[in-house]
């Protein structure tokens, strides 16, 4: 499961768990393409196709990938072959971090591996985000309160594998860097914020009228978007509470249309449209059709979807969790609500949707400022400089 050149000719390998879905895979894809644009040889490997049901379900629910390891897959084999050939490895996600890191250390990749911390799985007993678990700092005990099996042993195995491989760790947010610093003492972590493609400032975005026509949306209706991989099944994104949030906002704003994207269903009603997981081009067009992106994530690092909304001038209202406040300046490039304040989220969402002029101004500001801070070109340059410092 790989794309591009033979390992012997490689300079950099970008490796992820899924082929293309999810933030980690999209960052790997963006970097692979960006490096190619710079004339760098790059291999893109992955452990499972996007439609692997056990893996996808585990990522959405946050209860584990559901597979023991991706090393037996073609993508894992190509990664190990590349390690033996002397390539620089850049790891984004794996079904089995302990197994992968240990195998790469044995293959001689120590000192030639970059590892981006897209979530917390590298220093927890298995959970992507510990939320309010009081065992994060002290270490996982024999019984995980959230049900992850053998959490203490799992965490110890990853710690040992990290020590053996000694990767250069990168965090997309200051929040993740500080959290990793507390949980991985002695492990240096650099910050490189995520980046996404921003359209050229001189290029006209699709009009709202065109975008709404493409999705069959009433041109006069106020429209709010909820989107996550798995939709309501995405518990870290607050998906299990989306229904009550929608009801609370709609009670304040009659005539509101909700669009829910990222699940497996396609349906349309007068007040709710459901769409499946969308390609990036299709999601960008949808974002031009709506007025506000509502992102009540309970835990997050440096979410790409917020940056993707910025790129098409769509403002976001989100809980101020994790690295989200590093992306959004409240009232300037988006809107923030105190974490888990669902009543506050409902009230602010309704108020914003009743102020379309404010939403347009904030969306335009987010697009102008976001390109410099969160553009794909900046991220590629930052990582290319890091690779060069490692001799690649």
pLDDT attached to residue 382: 97
**Per-residue confidence band for 68, with pLDDT thresholds at 50, 70 and 90:** very low
What residue has token string 């069959």? 216
CATH 3.40.50.2000 fits 208-374, yes or no: yes
Cα–Cα distance measured from residue 35 to residue 42, given in angstroms and rounded to the nearest whole number: 7
pLDDT attached to residue 377: 96
| Domain definitions of the chain by residue range | 2-195+376-389, 208-374
* 105-118 pLDDT, tens digit each: 999 999 999 999 99
pLDDT attached to residue 8: 42
In the chain, DSSP finds a helix count (H) and a strand count (E) of 14, 14
* 10-29 pLDDT, tens digit each: 589 999 999 999 999 999 99
pLDDT at 183 > cutoff 70: yes
**Higher-confidence position of 1 and 201:** 201
pLDDT at 39 > cutoff 50: yes
Edge-first strand listing for the sheet containing 272-276: 267-268, 272-276, 257-263, 223-227, 292-295, 316-319, 335-337
Specify burial of residue 330 (Cβ count, 10 A radius: 0-12, 13-18, 19+): middle
* 223-232 pLDDT, tens digit each: 999 999 999 9
pLDDT attached to residue 75: 73
Pairing of strands 2-3, 42-48: antiparallel
pLDDT at 37 > cutoff 90: yes
Cα–Cα distance measured from residue 57 to residue 291, given in angstroms and rounded to the nearest whole number: 30
pLDDT attached to residue 148: 87
pLDDT at 155 > cutoff 60: yes
pLDDT attached to residue 231: 95
Cα–Cα distance measured from residue 50 to residue 55, given in angstroms and rounded to the nearest whole number: 8
**Per-residue confidence band for 33, with pLDDT thresholds at 50, 70 and 90:** very high
Cα–Cα distance measured from residue 191 to residue 212, given in angstroms and rounded to the nearest whole number: 38
Closest to 237 (Cα-Cα) out of 261, 269, 272, 256: 261
Sign of the Cα torsion 260, 367, 235, 116 reads: positive
Tell me which H or E stretch contains 171. strand 168-171
**Per-residue confidence band for 1, with pLDDT thresholds at 50, 70 and 90:** very low
Topology of domain 2-195+376-389 in CATH is: Rossmann fold (3.40.50)
pLDDT attached to residue 102: 96
Q: What does the pLDDT average to over 375-387?
A: 97
Stated pTM of the model: 0.92
Closest to 229 (Cα-Cα) out of 267, 280, 292, 192: 280
pLDDT attached to residue 76: 81
- Mutual angle of helices 280-289 and 304-311, in 10-degree steps: 60
pLDDT attached to residue 286: 98
Cα–Cα distance measured from residue 326 to residue 331, given in angstroms and rounded to the nearest whole number: 14
- How much is the mean pLDDT over the chain? 91
- On the question of a common fold for 2-195+376-389 and 208-374, the answer reads yes
Answer whether 79's CB lies under 8 Å from 109's CB. Answer: no
What residue has token string 């440096």? 302
Instruction: Give per-residue burial for 29-50: e unless 16+ CB within 10 Å, then b.
Output: bbbbbbbeeeebebbbbbbbee
């Amino acid at each position: 499961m790989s794309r591009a050149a033979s390992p012997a000719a490689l300079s950099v390998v970008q490796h992820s768990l899924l082929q293309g879905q999810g933030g980690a895979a999209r960052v790997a894809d963006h970097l692979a393409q960006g490096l190619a644009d710079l004339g760098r040889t790059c291999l893109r490997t992955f452990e499972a196709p996007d439609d692997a049901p056990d893996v996808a379900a585990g990522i959405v629910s946050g209860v584990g990938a559901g597979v023991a390891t991706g090393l037996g897959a073609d993508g894992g084999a190509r990664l190990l072959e590349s390690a033996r050939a002397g390539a620089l490895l850049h790891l984004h996600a794996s079904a089995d971090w302990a197994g992968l890191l240990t195998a790469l250390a044995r293959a001689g990749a120590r000192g030639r591996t970059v590892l981006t911390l897209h979530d917390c799985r590298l220093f927890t007993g298995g959970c992507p985000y510990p939320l309010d678990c009081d065992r994060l700092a002290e270490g996982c005990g024999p019984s995980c309160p959230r049900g992850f099996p053998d959490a203490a042993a799992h965490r110890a195995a990853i710690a040992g594998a990290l020590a053996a491989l000694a990767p250069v760790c990168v965090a997309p947010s200051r929040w993740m860097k500080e959290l990793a610093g507390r949980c991985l003492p002695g492990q240096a972590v650099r910050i490189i914020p995520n980046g996404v493609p921003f359209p050229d400032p001189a290029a006209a975005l699709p009009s709202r009228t065109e975008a709404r026509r493409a999705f069959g949306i009433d041109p006069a209706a106020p429209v709010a978007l909820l989107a996550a991989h798995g939709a309501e099944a995405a518990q870290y994104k607050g998906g299990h509470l989306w229904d009550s949030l929608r009801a609370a906002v709609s009670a304040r704003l009659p005539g509101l249309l909700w669009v829910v994207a990222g699940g497996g269903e396609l349906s349309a009603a007068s007040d709710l449209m459901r769409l499946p997981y969308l390609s990036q081009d299709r999601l960008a067009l949808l974002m031009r059709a709506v007025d506000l992106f509502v992102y009540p994530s309970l835990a997050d690092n440096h979410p790409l979807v917020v940056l993707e909304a910025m790129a098409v001038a769509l403002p976001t209202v989100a809980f101020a969790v994790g690295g989200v406040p590093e992306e959004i300046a409240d009232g300037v490039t988006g809107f923030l609500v105190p974490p888990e304040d669902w009543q506050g989220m409902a009230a602010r969402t309704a108020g914003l949707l009743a102020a379309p002029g404010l939403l347009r101004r904030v969306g335009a500001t987010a697009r102008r400022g976001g390109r410099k801070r969160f553009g794909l070109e900046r991220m590629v340059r930052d990582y290319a400089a890091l690779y060069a410092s490692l001799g690649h």
